[in-house]
Amino acid sequence: MTVFGSLKVRNYRLFTTGQLVKLLGTWMMVVAQDWLVLQLSDNSPTALGIVTALQFTPVLLLTLYGGQLADRFDKRRLLLIANTGSALVAGLLGGLVVAGVVTLWWVFVTAALFGVISAIETPVRQAFVSELVGPELLPNALSLSSATFNTARIVGPAIAGLVIALLHDRTGPIFLITAGLCLAPLVGLSRMRTAELFRVERPPVAASDARTVDGLRYVQRRPDLSLAILLVLVVGLFGFNFQLTLAVLAKVEFNAEASYFGLLTTALAVGALAGALASSRRRSRPSAYAVLAAAVLFGGFETLVGFAPTFATAVALLLPTGFFMIYFAQAANQRVQLGTDPEFRGRVMALYVLVFLGSTPLGSLIIGWCAERFGPRSGIWVGGLVSVVATLIMAAMQLHKVGGKVRVHLRPSPHLHVFEPARKDAPAFELRVPAVR
């Protein structure tokens, strides 16, 4: 399988193109929104944490409902509605900023509206990928979707930082550009050939036949799914708060200008893009140990970022941090998606999105408080350290449950093997560091 194998499918190509254009605008808006909040709040990390919490709180309340909708209705039509709503909200915020009447409360309101739309759109979009390609291409399609996301996260913040600097810290035009770019998915979705979608034809599903509680019980009966989802919950709660922590690190700790703030986010995204492309070569469902190893490496590098002595060191460390962040997220996503029956996929992915994004409101408040109470660096290293400790505890529990053993070898190159009794002498997982010659 090639890295870009899924792009040979016309419907997936249309979907990915529309998402790339929209996400460019979305990541430009993320930088502009953070900068606007810091301007309006006199550089308050708490205010930034509140905005982040408002943007992600609807995920806690509505994501499971979004998964129920995905299992009941046409996913393509739901995505058309959601992307139209995103364009309208971005246009509203841009108009307020350009008119000079924006206040911090208006940013709170629009952040909450974006959160509502995202809570419905994200699980629908995640489940829709499985209708665009066949089962053999699904791991590749999921990784390329992540690569698309991170390509936008590389280019979008860099453009936003430069535009803000050129416009002397004005952010209004960025929101208006975002509103226009949010229309791109509408073009791709409307041009798709519905006859070529990989759908299981069935009659309309009643609400009583697609209950949220049935999806939760399904995950409860599947420990292979619940382990991945629980790990995503913990790491997402403490480790995935870069929207808050990088803004505070750049502006408060390093006194960086807007263009340099974008450089931190771009470094994280460059590493994340590499991680997504590395994941795209995976042809089968990843093991639990692959998910656990990636989480430990991510948390370790994030901890190092928190202690980076200079801005340049932080940028360099964010590259491997981004790599293992998305490598972990993709391994967990693929393990959940490829292990879920189609009739439950919308609700299971809604639960995955809920713990992946819904943990951010509480996490952002905790990390924001840490940054304000103990310094801007603490928001990063605390998140990384907690992620490492929690993952090691889950790994020990997994090994104890199956009676597994770990063997570490230093020669000829450092490598680690995990053995399970059911596999006899064949390792269930191998982690190898290439020898330096």
The 10s digit of each residue's pLDDT in 210-221 is: 577 777 888 888
pTM above 0.75, yes or no: no
Tokens 């629009």, residue?
A: 110
274 token code pair: 């590499």
- Residues paired with residue 429 on neighbouring β-strands, in sequence order: 418
The predicted-structure confidence for 65-93, as pLDDT tens digits, reads as follows 888 888 778 888 999 999 999 999 999 99
Tens digit of each residue's pLDDT (9 = 90 or more) over 163-209 = 877 777 677 788 898 999 999 999 999 998 888 887 666 555 555 55
Distance CA 376, CA 242 (A): 12
Rounded distance between C-alpha atoms, residue 288 and residue 296, angstroms: 13
pLDDT above 80 (res 42):
no
In this predicted structure, what is the pLDDT of residue 140? 80
Which pLDDT does position 172 carry in this prediction?
A: 79
Q: What is the pLDDT of residue 358?
A: 64
What is the tens place of the pLDDT at every residue in 309-359?
A: 888 888 899 999 989 988 898 888 888 887 887 777 777 887 887 787 666
| Type of residue numbered 121 | E
DSSP per-residue codes, 169-188: S--HHHHHHHHHHTTHHHHH
- Could you please state the CATH topology (level 3) that the domain comprising 7-195+208-402 is classified under: Growth Hormone; Chain: A; (1.20.1250)
Task: Using DSSP, state whether 431 is helix, strand or coil.
Answer: strand
Structural domain boundaries in the chain = 7-195+208-402, 403-437
Q: Residue 203: which residues within 8 A CB-CB, separation 6 or more?
A: none
User: SS3 sequence, 197-234?
Assistant: CCCCCCCCCCHHHCCHHHHHHHHHCCHHHHHHHHHHHH
For residues 115-124, give the mean pLDDT: 87
Q: How many CB atoms lie within 10 A of CB 213?
A: 9
Q: Categorize the per-residue pLDDT at 436 as very low, low, confident or very high, splitting at 50, 70 and 90.
A: very low
CA–CA gap between residue 262 and residue 243 (Å, rounded): 11
> Per residue in 137-150, pLDDT tens?
887 888 788 778 76
Q: What is the pLDDT of residue 257?
A: 67
**Given this model, what pLDDT does residue 426 score?**
54
Helices marked H in 280-359: 288-306, 311-337, 345-357
pLDDT at 217: 83
pLDDT of residue 92: 92
Tell me: pLDDT of 293 over 50: yes
Give the pLDDT of residue 256: 66
Q: How confident is the model at residue 411 (pLDDT cuts 50, 70, 90)?
A: low
Is residue 295 within 8 Å of 237, Cβ to Cβ? no
Burial annotation 215-226 (CB, 10 A radius, 16+ → b, else e):
beebbeebeebe
pLDDT band of residue 437 (cuts 50, 70, 90) is: very low
pLDDT band (50, 70, 90) for residue 420: low
